Amino acid sequence: MRKSLIAVAAAGLTLSLAACSGGTTPGATSSPSGDVSSPAASAPAGSGTVTIWVDETRVETFNTIGEGFTAATGVTLDVVQKPTGDIKTDFIAQAPTGEGPDLIVGAHDWVGDLQANGVIAPVELGDKVSGFNELAIQGFTYDGQLFGVPYAIENIALVRNNGMVSDTPATFDELIAQGKAVEGAQFPIVIQQGDAGDAYHLYPIQTSFGAPVFKTDASGAYTAELGMGGPEGLAFANYLKKLADEKVVSVSLGGDQAKQAFIDQKTPYMITGPWNIADFEAAGIDVSVLAVPSAGGQPSAPFLGVQGVYLSSQSENALVANQFLDYMASKEAQDKLYELGGRTPALTESADAVDDPILAGFAEAGKEGQPMPALPEMGAVWTFWGSAQVSIITGAAAPEAAWTEMIANIESKF
C-alpha cells in the first residue's frame, strides 16, 4: 500500500512539474496585469510589473531604483538576482521561449552577441541622447542603433600606494625602476594575468605602443580592421616579454593574488579598476588614481566599460519596460545609481556633479579610452589575445611568432 501511495504522489508531482514547464501561468508577473485595483497603486495611474535581471552586486541598487520608479509611475520593478556569468547566456537561451525577463542589466560589450541572437530591442531615447556621455552612447550603439540605456562608465587606471611612493614618473620604464628601488616591495608593479591571460589589464600598455585592437574611423567607431598587427603590435609583444622577465606580469599572478600583493604592501602600484578601491581603503591604504604612464611613447588608453540596461525583444510588457528605460535616463535615477554604485554616471549632468578625487582620477586615466568593442567575434578575439599573451609571458613561444600567429587566428574569424 505504502509503495503505491508514493507512486501516486510521484505521478502527481510529475504532472505538476510538466505543467510548470508549460509556460508562464496566466496572470503571472510578466503579463500586463489586468486587475488594476490594488490599493497601493493609488498615486500614479499606472500599475503592473516589469522584471529585470541583475547580478548580485546590484540587487540593492536596483531595488532602490525600483522604489523610485514605482513612485514615479506606479509600476513595480521585480528585481531578480542572477549570477554575473549566467545573465547573458541564460537570457539568450530563455528570451525566445518567452520565459525571459523584460530587462537585463549588463555591460555594453554584450550588445553584439545579444543582437546577433535577436534577443534585444532597439531603444529610442529621442533628444535625451545628447545628455549622455558620447562614449557611453557609442558603447551601446550597434550597427547604427542604440540598444540600451547606459548608466555608468568605468575603466582601469594606475593605482598608487601613497605610503610607499609619493610621485610617479612619466614613463613605464622609469616606473619599474622606481618600484624596484622601493624598500620591502616584492614587485615594482602588479598587473593581473592568470592562466588564460588578461588582455584587458594590459591594454593601456599596448595602446601606448599605438596598437589598438581595431582601427577606428573618423567618428571614433571601430572598423573591422585589426590595429594590433604590424610593427607596433610586435613592439608591444617584445615589451611584454620584458615585463615578464621583470616579474611585473606572471601567469600565477591572477586577480586575487595581485590584489592581495597590493593590500599586503608588496607592491607600490597596481593597474586595476574602481571595483577594488573599497577593499584597498578598508585595508587602510592611502591610494591615488593616475593615468598609466606610457611605455611606448604614445598616451595609454584603457578600455572603457559601460554598464546599462537592455530591453528584451520578446518582452510582453515593452511599453512599461520602455518607461523604465526612460526613467533610467533621468537625472534623478542616474544620481541615485551613482550614490549606490559609486561609478561615474553616464549622464553628463550627473557626472559633472560628482566630486570625488578617486573617480576623477579614473576619469582622467580613461580620457583617451575607447569603449570595448562589442562585435560578436570579440569573444574569440579575447581568447586568442589572452592565450598569445600567456605564451609570451611563460616563454612557451617567441614573442613575435606568438603575436603573428594570434593575428592570423583572429583574422580567420572575420
- Chain positions 314 to 353 lying near another protein, rule: CB under 8 A, are 314, 317-320, 322-323, 325-326
From the list 380, 373, 370, the residue with the least C-alpha distance to 411 is 380
- Chain positions 171 to 230 lying near another protein, rule: CB under 8 A, are 195-196
Q: Does 122 help bind another protein (rule: CB under 8 A)?
A: yes
Specify the DSSP element, H or E, that contains 159: strand 157-161
Nearer to another protein, 82 or 160 (CB): 82
* Number of residues counted as binding another protein (CB under 8 A): 90
Grid cell digits, residue 193: 594575468
Q: Does 113 help bind another protein (rule: CB under 8 A)?
A: yes
From the list 65, 63, 31, the residue with the least C-alpha distance to 337 is 65
Q: Does 360 help bind another protein (rule: CB under 8 A)?
A: no
Q: How far apart are CA 9 and CA 372, in angstroms?
A: 54
Q: How far apart are CA 161 and CA 270, in angstroms?
A: 9
Q: How far apart are CA 60 and CA 342, in angstroms?
A: 13
Nearer to another protein, 24 or 348 (CB): 24
Taking CB under 8 A as the criterion, the residue among 313, 334, 344, 389 binding another protein is 313
Nearer to another protein, 180 or 247 (CB): 247
Taking CB under 8 A as the criterion, the residue among 60, 177, 379, 411 binding another protein is 379
Taking CB under 8 A as the criterion, the residue among 57, 84, 145, 162 binding another protein is 145
Taking CB under 8 A as the criterion, the residue among 397, 399, 403, 407 binding another protein is 397
Is residue 199 within 8 A of residue 186, CB to CB? The reply is no
Give the three-state DSSP class for 42: helix
Taking CB under 8 A as the criterion, the residue among 276, 402, 403, 407 binding another protein is 402
- Chain positions 40 to 79 lying near another protein, rule: CB under 8 A, are 44-48, 73-75
At 113, which amino acid appears? Answer: D
Nearest-approach distance from CB 102 to another protein, in angstroms: 11
Write each residue from 250 to 289 as x if it is in contact with another protein (CB under 8 A), else as -, in one continuous string: xxxx---x--------------------------------
Give 132's Cβ-side CA count (13 Å radius).
Answer: 29
Nearest-approach distance from CB 196 to another protein, in angstroms: 7
Nearer to another protein, 180 or 413 (CB): 413
Is residue 273 within 8 A of residue 154, CB to CB? The reply is yes
Nearest-approach distance from CB 107 to another protein, in angstroms: 16
Q: How far apart are CA 225 and CA 234, in angstroms?
A: 17
Nearest-approach distance from CB 125 to another protein, in angstroms: 9
Task: Kindly give, in sequence order, each residue whose CB lies less than 8 Å from that of residue 128, ignoring residues fewer than 6 positions away.
Answer: 326, 329
Nearer to another protein, 182 or 318 (CB): 318
Nearest-approach distance from CB 19 to another protein, in angstroms: 3
Nearest-approach distance from CB 288 to another protein, in angstroms: 27
Which stretch, 118-126, 160-168, 266-274, 354-362, contacts another protein (CB under 8 A)?
118-126
Nearer to another protein, 87 or 358 (CB): 87
Distance (Å) of CA 173 to CA 243, 253, 333 = 10, 20, 43
Nearest-approach distance from CB 98 to another protein, in angstroms: 8
Give the three-state DSSP class for 211: coil
Taking 3-state DSSP, the helix, strand and coil percentages for the chain, each rounded to the nearest 5, stand at 45, 15, 35
Is residue 187 within 8 A of residue 248, CB to CB? The reply is yes
Nearest-approach distance from CB 370 to another protein, in angstroms: 20
| Residue 187 backbone class (left: φ over 0; alpha: ψ -120 to 50; beta: rest) | beta
DSSP 8-class letter at 347: B
Taking CB under 8 A as the criterion, the residue among 29, 64, 216, 394 binding another protein is 394
Q: Does 89 help bind another protein (rule: CB under 8 A)?
A: yes
Taking CB under 8 A as the criterion, the residue among 221, 283, 380, 398 binding another protein is 380
What are the DSSP calls for 307-344, one per residue?
A: EEEEEBTT-TTHHHHHHHHHHHTSHHHHHHHHHHH-SE
